[in-house]
């Protein structure tokens, strides 16, 4: 059941006013155009982006690299001064591997056998050069960027699913995987760096994709990974506490997110728009800075894309929505209030892209879900078990609220916090877990090089004396999951949070194979839970 979006059922004729369809026809690529970037380019073509000395303009480059370890003969190497190290330290290695020229941040006085090209802002130059090198692929695609603290993956997958069901060839870029129109690729990051991103987009163009739903992380925006990408639509899910190790505070986090909306210029590609969450505190600020039409969603009467009613049925909910005055009903098995907002955002995009409402309503119930997000594990146990990716305060709160909505039994949560990441969110997560779960179990997540004792101390700093006593602390994640299953009784809801789809636990620099889903299946098969009373329905 979990996997890439299902192939569309039946062919839909896009409406005459379907923007995507028009673009599709306009942008049909000839074979000659496909893969034009494979041939390389002359350095002179980058003269507006970096300072190319007169004598080097005819020099051919056949690739781009920002990592010396990945350099291939003929590449232009970007020596980025980073947070951890300086790319200049690897210049010699890049030259040894065949780099024919290198871009540096500002002029560098150094004797080298290859030309050094100075850029004022190297990350910006890398983005623009990558877009140029790969033939400006984002201009040939409907680019839908989704940003926000939580829900990016779900919304991007939903958009991709609905557009694909409407026969719009759509690529996907995000945390879980990349779908480039020919194959699924694993993702290293939520948003690839500029060179990988532009190469991926060019591949999508070559594979006949007409639209792309992509997650745009705040890191990517701050580090200019998407510079050179022209978006048609920018979507915000929400902005809550996370990544304050990198962004320092809410304001600078908001500033980074706002880049996606600020850069949605009302010229260039036609029909640009933004989709905003009207209930998020960022709404007034983002709406103000948007220079393109804004479609906002929410449950209040002012929202343009509005959730009017939710009728909960046994295995699904029936949502009544209103889109700019038109009502429609959509069934979904995605659980929780937060997913209703994710659906609103995705529906707003699909509808704005020209997919008819009946087609949207037909597609959403067939959404296969996203691995590791609110993913149920069913092995015949008499209680519900879910693996979820919640790893920040708002997500933890949302998933526990979802469990309250869905079950009348106890909520048992296994959770942890990553090492070497935002320490400020740890006490918030601890407090949410003890205040919203009946049985909170604190365990380890990826530690990297941080001491688990420090992490546990930070998490418990958010708790009162009594709450601390109610907390079960089990550093071994497998044992913590076992404990949760042993304590669960019929009708309870067990949530294993934080790792989602990930297949490893990081200890130091070592990635140890570990899958919450697999461990739950093993433990449930071993009978780590009490036997199922025959009178109870099996899930």
Ligand X SMILES: Nc1ncnc2c1ncn2[C@@H]1O[C@H](COP(=O)(O)OP(=O)(O)OP(=O)(O)O)[C@@H](O)[C@H]1O
Ligand Y SMILES: CC(=O)N[C@H]1[C@@H](OP(=O)(O)OP(=O)(O)OC[C@H]2O[C@@H](n3ccc(=O)[nH]c3=O)[C@H](O)[C@@H]2O)O[C@H](CO)[C@@H](O)[C@@H]1O[C@H](C)C(=O)N[C@@H](C)C(=O)N[C@H](CCC(=O)O)C(=O)O
By CB under 6 A, is residue 256 in contact with ligand Y? Answer: no
- Judged by DSSP in three states, 419 sits in coil
Q: 149 among the known binding-site residues?
A: yes
Report residue 277 as tokens.
Answer: 């969450």
Q: Which does 389 bind (CB under 5 to 8 A by kind): ligand Y, ligand X, none?
A: ligand X
List 398, 443, 446, 460, residue binding ligand X (CB under 6 A): 398
Tell me if 150 contacts ligand Y by CB under 6 A.
no
Other residues' Cβ atoms within 10 Å of the Cβ of residue 284 = 11
- Picking from 356, 499, 501, 539, the residue whose alpha carbon sits closest to that of residue 4 is 501
Q: Judged by CB under 6 A, which of 105, 196, 296, 388 binds ligand X? A: 388
Span of 152-160, 255-263, 349-357, 411-419 interacting with ligand X by CB under 6 A: 152-160
Of the candidates 38, 73, 82, 266, which one interacts with ligand Y according to CB under 6 A?
82
Query: Using CB under 6 A, which of 37, 253, 297, 341 touches ligand X?
Result: 341
User: Is residue 83 part of the contact set for ligand Y (CB under 6 A)?
Assistant: yes
Query: Least distance from C-beta 396 to ligand X, angstroms?
Result: 7
Answer yes or no whether residue 175 interacts with ligand X by CB under 6 A: yes
Tell whether 3 is in a known binding site: no
User: Contact between 395 and ligand X (CB under 6 A)?
Assistant: yes
- According to the annotation, is 150 in a ligand binding site? yes
Task: Give the nearest distance from C-beta 342 to ligand X in angstroms.
Answer: 5
Is position 90 an interface residue for ligand Y (rule: CB under 6 A)? yes
Q: Give the contacts of 421 (CB within 8 A, at least 6 positions apart).
A: 243, 245
Residue 443, binding choice from ligand X, ligand Y, none, Cβ under 5 to 8 Å by partner class: none
| Residue 14 or 372 having the CB closest to ligand X | 372
CB atoms within 10 A of CB 302: 8
Tokens of 7: 């192939």
Interface with ligand X, residue 367, by CB under 6 A:
no
Q: Does residue 67 touch ligand Y according to CB under 6 A?
A: yes
The piece of 36-44, 93-101, 122-130, 395-403 that touches ligand X (CB under 6 A) is: 395-403
Distance between alpha carbon 470 and the CA centroid of its chain, in Å?
34
Q: Give the Å distances, CA to CA, from 501 to 36, 57, 170, 440.
A: 36, 47, 22, 21
Residues 203-232 that bind ligand Y (CB under 6 A): 217, 219-220, 223
469 and 436 Cβ atoms separated by less than 8 Å:
no
By CB neighbour count within 10 A (0-12 exposed, 13-18 middle, 19+ buried), where does 446 fall? buried
Rounded CA gap, 259 and 226, in Å? 10
Indicate the Cα dihedral angle 67, 73, 78, 79, nearest 10°. Answer: 70
Strands 177-179 and 184-186, how do they pair?
Answer: antiparallel
> What's the rounded Cα separation, in Å, for the pair 145 and 125?
21
Write down the least CB distance from residue 174 to ligand Y, Å. 9
How many DSSP H helices and E strands does the chain contain?
17, 25
Query: Which partner from the list ligand X, ligand Y, none does 342 bind, CB cut-off 5 to 8 Å by kind?
Result: ligand X
Alpha carbon dihedral 345, 346, 349, 355, in 10-degree steps, equals -140
Q: Is 306 marked as binding a ligand?
A: no
Q: Could you tell me how many residues of this chain bind ligand Y (CB under 6 A)? A: 20
Shortest Cβ distance from residue 175 to ligand X (Å)?
4
Distance CA 502, CA 391 (A): 12
The strand ranges marked E within 91-220 are 101-105, 116-119, 142-147, 170-173, 177-179, 184-186, 211-215
Q: Tell me if 394 contacts ligand X by CB under 6 A.
A: yes
Residue 463, binding choice from ligand Y, ligand X, none, Cβ under 5 to 8 Å by partner class: none
Strands 375-376 and 384-388, sheet pairing:
antiparallel
- CA torsion 494→499→502→506, rounded to 10°? -130
Binding part of the chain for ligand Y, among 16-24, 66-74, 296-304, 511-519 by CB under 6 A, reads 66-74
Residues 169-198 touching ligand Y, rule: CB under 6 A, are: 189-191, 193
Residue 238 interacts, among ligand Y, ligand X, none and using kind-specific CB cut-offs from 5 to 8 Å, with ligand X
| Site for ligand X contains 238 (CB under 6 A) | yes
Q: Which residue has the tokens 């877009």?
A: 131
* Interaction between residue 150 and ligand X (CB under 6 A): yes
| Element (DSSP H or E) covering residue 430 | helix 425-436
Residue 203 is assigned to a ligand binding site: no
Q: Which residues are annotated as a binding site?
A: 68, 148-154, 190-191, 217, 225
Q: Which residues bind ligand X (CB under 6 A)?
A: 148, 150-154, 175, 190, 215, 237-238, 338, 341-342, 373-374, 388-390, 394-395, 398-399
Q: Which residues are annotated as a binding site for ATP?
A: 148-154
């Amino acid at each position: 059941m979990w996997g890439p979006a299902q192939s569309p059922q039946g062919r839909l004729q896009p409406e005459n006013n379907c923007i995507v369809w028009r673009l599709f026809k306009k942008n049909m690529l000839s074979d000659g155009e496909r893969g034009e970037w494979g041939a390389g380019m002359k350095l002179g073509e980058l003269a507006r982006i970096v300072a190319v000395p007169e004598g080097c303009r005819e020099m051919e480059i056949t690739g781009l690299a920002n990592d010396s370890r990945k350099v291939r003969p003929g590449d232009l190497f970007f020596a980025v001064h980073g947070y951890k190290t300086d790319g200049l330290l690897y210049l010699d290695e890049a030259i040894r591997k065949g780099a024919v020229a290198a871009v540096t941040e500002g002029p560098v006085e150094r004797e080298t056998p290859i030309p050094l090209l100075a850029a004022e802002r190297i990350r910006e130059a890398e983005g623009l050069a990558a877009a140029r090198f790969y033939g400006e692929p984002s201009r040939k695609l409907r680019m839908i960027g989704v940003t926000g603290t939580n829900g990016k993956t779900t919304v991007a997958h939903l958009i991709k699913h609905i557009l694909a069901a409407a026969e719009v060839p759509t690529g996907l870029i995000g945390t879980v995987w990349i779908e480039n129109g020919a194959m699924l690729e694993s993702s290293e990051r939520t948003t690839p760096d500029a060179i990988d991103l532009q190469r991926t987009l060019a591949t999508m163009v070559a594979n006949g994709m007409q639209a792309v739903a992509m997650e745009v992380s705040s890191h990517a925006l701050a580090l200019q990974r998407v510079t050179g990408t022209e978006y048609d639509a920018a979507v915000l899910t929400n902005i809550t506490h996370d990544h304050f190790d990198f962004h320092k505070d809410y304001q600078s986090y908001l500033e980074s997110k706002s880049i996606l909306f600020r850069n949605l210029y009302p010229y260039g590609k036609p029909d640009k728009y933004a989709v905003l969450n009207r209930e998020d505190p960022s709404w007034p600020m983002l709406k103000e800075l948007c220079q393109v039409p804004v479609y906002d969603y929410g449950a209040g009467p002012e929202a343009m894309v509005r959730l009017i009613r939710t009728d909960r049925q046994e295995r699904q909910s029936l949502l009544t929505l209103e889109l700019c005055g038109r009502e429609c009903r959509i069934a979904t098995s995605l659980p929780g209030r937060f997913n209703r907002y994710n659906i609103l955002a995705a529906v707003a995009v699909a509808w704005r892209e020209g997919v008819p409402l009946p087609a949207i309503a037909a597609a959403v119930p067939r959404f296969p879900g996203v691995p590791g997000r609110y993913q149920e594990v069913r092995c015949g146990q008499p209680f519900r078990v879910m693996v979820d990716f919640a790893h920040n305060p708002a997500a933890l709160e949302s998933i526990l609220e979802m469990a309250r909505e869905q079950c009348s039994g106890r909520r048992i949560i296994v959770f942890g916090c990553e090492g070497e990441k935002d320490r400020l969110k740890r006490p918030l997560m601890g407090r949410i877990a003890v205040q919203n779960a009946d049985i909170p179990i604190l365990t380890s997540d990826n530690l990297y090089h941080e001491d688990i004792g420090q992490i546990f101390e930070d998490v418990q700093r958010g708790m009162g004396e009594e709450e601390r006593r109610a907390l079960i602390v089990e550093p071994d994640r497998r044992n913590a999951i076992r404990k949760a299953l042993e304590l669960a009784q019929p009708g309870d809801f067990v949530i294993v949070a934080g790792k989602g789809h990930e297949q490893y636990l990081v200890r130091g620099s070592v990635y140890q194979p570990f899958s919450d889903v697999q461990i739950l299946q093993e433990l449930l098969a071993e009978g780590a839970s009490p036997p199922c009373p025959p009178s109870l329905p099996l899930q």
